[in-house]
Chain A
Amino acid sequence: MPENELVEGLGLDEYQYGFIDDEAHVFRTRPGLSEEVVRQISKHKEEPEWMLEFRLKALKIYESKPMPTWGGDLSDLEATLDEIYFYVKPQDQMERSWDDVPSNIKNTFERLGIPEAEQKLLAGVGAQYESEMVYHSLKEEWASKGVIFDSIEDGLKNHPEIFREHFATVIPAADNKFAALNSAVWSGGSFVYVPKGVELETPLQAYFRVNQERMGQFERTMIIMEEGSQAHYIEGCTAPVYSTDSFHSGVIEIILKKDSRFRYTTIQNWSNNMYNLVTQRAVVNENATMEWLDGNLGSKLTMKYPSCYLVGEGAHGDIMSIAYASDGQHQDTGGKVVHVAPNTTSSITSKSISKGNGRSSYRGLCKVYEGANNARSNVECDALLINATARTDTYPYIEIEEKQATVGHEATVSRIGDTQLFYLMSRGLTKEEAMALIVRGFIEPIAKELPLEYAVELNRLIELEMEGSVG
């Protein structure tokens, strides 16, 4: 069978979770963005004056910054932004018990496997539905240790001092155009605070999905790890299929104090009409370790570069990412490591898969400031092309001001070859099964870092997507 016919049935573009619930929102702003919209959001959230001022200032910054011209193609985005709803509130109250969650929303969660997952492994769930947290639970023992795992809104309401002290310190509104936009209209997201010395063995998980056509999702997550604390936070996203463009622009700020350790795992599987522009950054203090594990599937365009600012001596940052670009998709992803202090170490491992006319770009920065002596960094990026029309690019930026630093960069590009396929088929595998196995092997070094149920889910997703439509 011709290869182009085969690969039609291969990618992750045929979205599996494309189902839509009947909407039940109690309030939403008018489409498009204005000062009025920003004021309404703040009013509905009953925010303190300083937050309204922050939002309005951010709106001005957003309006003053030009649309980025590097990375992916954003030329259609401005028209899209005029049509989306910047705020949708699905219901009035935070839900604490599963029984109280409305049945259509519960139905969505059940189809995504949330309650089951919770029973097995997850100790706390903050699930974001549209722009608000509707379901939230936290194990008693954690609460007794002083761990806070809340919606970002409740973080602001209930812990105003900690909140204000850290908010927008890692990613200020002026950082980039989309960070400014998020700062103006943010809604939903998680607030996590782990006190000094507390180690969480089971992961915190937020599973959310966007569920309204033309609705922008501007979640804002803030995580504060006190000295010597340890935690793992998992966020998975899946969005239903729509015909018009949709937009997601999150901001994730993480602060790791001395000797703390934190891992942030994301698997995002957006519908293929989504612009996904996320700023996520961690400030890593003395001897602390930050790990980003980032999987990007779906979307029309993803621009996302998890970052570690290694500001304390001996700080360590790890960035591992998987990107899958199918027909009509561009994954512009990678990572940034900034070495500010001596004896800091970092590694970036990036794996991308491109299919059809899909394009994946690795874009990474390794910066070593003067004085960060003995800094060591290693970057490895591997691209797998499923067929000849797929595209991959590598944009590694390396800026070193310090003489005593070691920076390594290695990039490979490979293609699934007829010889590999024939070998596997001669053992009884169909062509799709053979391709799925090769892809799974390719991402294995990162997939093995995922919690078991996520690794299984990822493998299952790849297998499912390779079934069917082969004549």
Chain B
Amino acid sequence: MSDTSILTITGLRAKVADEDLDILMGVDLEIRPGQIHTIMGPNGSGKSTLAKVLAGHPDYEVTGGDVVFNGQSILDLEPNERALAGMFLAFQYPTEIPGVSIANFLRTALQARLEDGEEVDLFDFQEELLDRMKLLDMDPAFAERPVNDGFSGGEKKRNEILQMAVLRPTLALMDETDSGLDIDALQIVANGVNTLREENPDMTVLLITHYQRMLNYIKPDAVHVMVGGRIVRSGGPEVAIALEEQGYADWKEQDKDEGQEEEQQQQVVTA
């Protein structure tokens, strides 16, 4: 399995649904099982959109290309079907679900993975949940709180990691999980990811981030730079270090030229 890819993205194009606003302009990416890939890029480059499109967010419409996950094209699948196939999106802005405890939510999510007629055993689940929380060094009382309701930014991100730990995805998409976190919270999240990877080295991670600092804690196998809806450079950790020093300025110039081209094309279309 390790010599075939777990995720292959070819020429992926996407726009905002109901609007003529193209965001992904042909993304190509290949990830092998167990690897950690990072996508970096300036604001508005489309890196967050890529994560959402992969998970099937209804705000975006795919206009071209393909995404093959575990040997299966997933673009026609509903978000829940992608989740059941082993994909997990750690949200940049996790949503509040008032009145629903984390434990109840996770039990429902595990139930969704069973055949009709099968039921999650409550005692087994409780044991599993406590076990996962212990692994992540979390207070068991945390699971009794309503999902993200009144959570601090750091608590929301920890909740994402807990869900990841319980649902055991084969591919974790982490959408700017580090944004808005202080250094302590960042370490907790990074430790969580590393712990899960130690436990299951086959877990693949696509880490989307604006800052290089996350890479001090999570070591990527590959770093990609995304600008203007395309991956413009790929390489090893040295790419991230170069970016830290030089910034995105060089790439932005290129982006601007392309943007003008796009504008002209759109005018032709509307005319």
Contact = CB atoms under 8 A, between A and B. Distances in A.
On chain B, which size bracket covers the interface?
20 to 34
A438 B88 CA distance: 20
A445 interface: yes
A333 to B, nearest CB: 20
B108 A429 contact: yes
Interface in A12-47: none
A425 B112 CA distance: 10
A443 B98 CA distance: 10
A67 to B, nearest CB: 39
A420 interface: yes
A408 to B, nearest CB: 20
A441 interface: yes
Interface in B77-118: 78-80, 82-84, 88-89, 91, 94-95, 97-100, 105, 108-109, 112-113
B43 to A, nearest CB: 20
A34 to B, nearest CB: 50
A426 B99 contact: no
Given A425-B79, A427-B105, A428-B83, A438 B112 contact: no
A420 B108 CA distance: 15
Nearest to B59: A418
Contact of A423 (B78, B95, B146): B95
A271 B76 CA distance: 39
Interface in A387-420: 418-420
Interface string B48-78: 0000000111110000000000000000001
B167 A422 contact: no
Contact of A426 (B89, B100, B108): B89
B163 interface: yes
A200 interface: no
A440 interface: yes
A210 to B, nearest CB: 32
A380 interface: no
A428 B112 contact: yes
A167 interface: no
Interface in A423-453: 423-431, 433, 437-438, 440-445
A437 B100 contact: yes
Nearest to B94: A423
B99 A441 contact: yes
Given A422-B57, A441-B146, A427 B83 contact: yes
A452 to B, nearest CB: 14
Question: Which of A420, A441, A445: most chain B Cβ within 10 A?
Answer: A441
A426 B98 contact: no
B105 A437 contact: yes
Contacts of A430: 78, 80, 112
Interface string B251-269: 0000000000000000000
A418 B79 CA distance: 12
A422 B97 contact: no
A440 B99 contact: yes
Contacts of B89: 426
B111 to A, nearest CB: 8
A427 B100 contact: no
Interface string A74-110: 0000000000000000000000000000000000000
B198 to A, nearest CB: 23
Nearest to B173: A426
Given A422-B57, A422-B79, A440-B100, A427 B95 contact: no
A143 to B, nearest CB: 38
Nearest to A1: B78
A429 B80 contact: yes
A426 B79 contact: yes
Nearest to A443: B99
Contacts of B97: 420, 423-424, 437-438, 441
Given A420-B95, A423-B94, A441-B146, A428 B100 contact: no
A430 B80 CA distance: 6
A419 B79 contact: no
Contacts of A422: 55-58, 79
Interface of B: 55-59, 78-80, 82-84, 88-89, 91, 94-95, 97-100, 105, 108-109, 112-113, 146-147, 163, 167
13 contacts: A425-B78, A425-B83, A426-B79, A427-B167, A428-B83, A431-B80, A437-B108, A440-B99, A441-B97, A441-B100, A444-B98, A444-B99, A444-B100
9 pairs of A and B residues whose beta carbons are closest in the complex: A441-B99, A444-B99, A441-B100, A425-B79, A428-B83, A423-B95, A428-B112, A427-B109, A425-B80
Given A422-B79, A427-B109, A437-B100, 20 more contacts: A418-B58, A420-B95, A422-B57, A422-B58, A425-B83, A426-B56, A426-B80, A426-B83, A426-B88, A426-B91, A428-B80, A428-B83, A428-B113, A437-B105, A441-B98, A441-B99, A441-B100, A444-B98, A444-B99, A445-B99
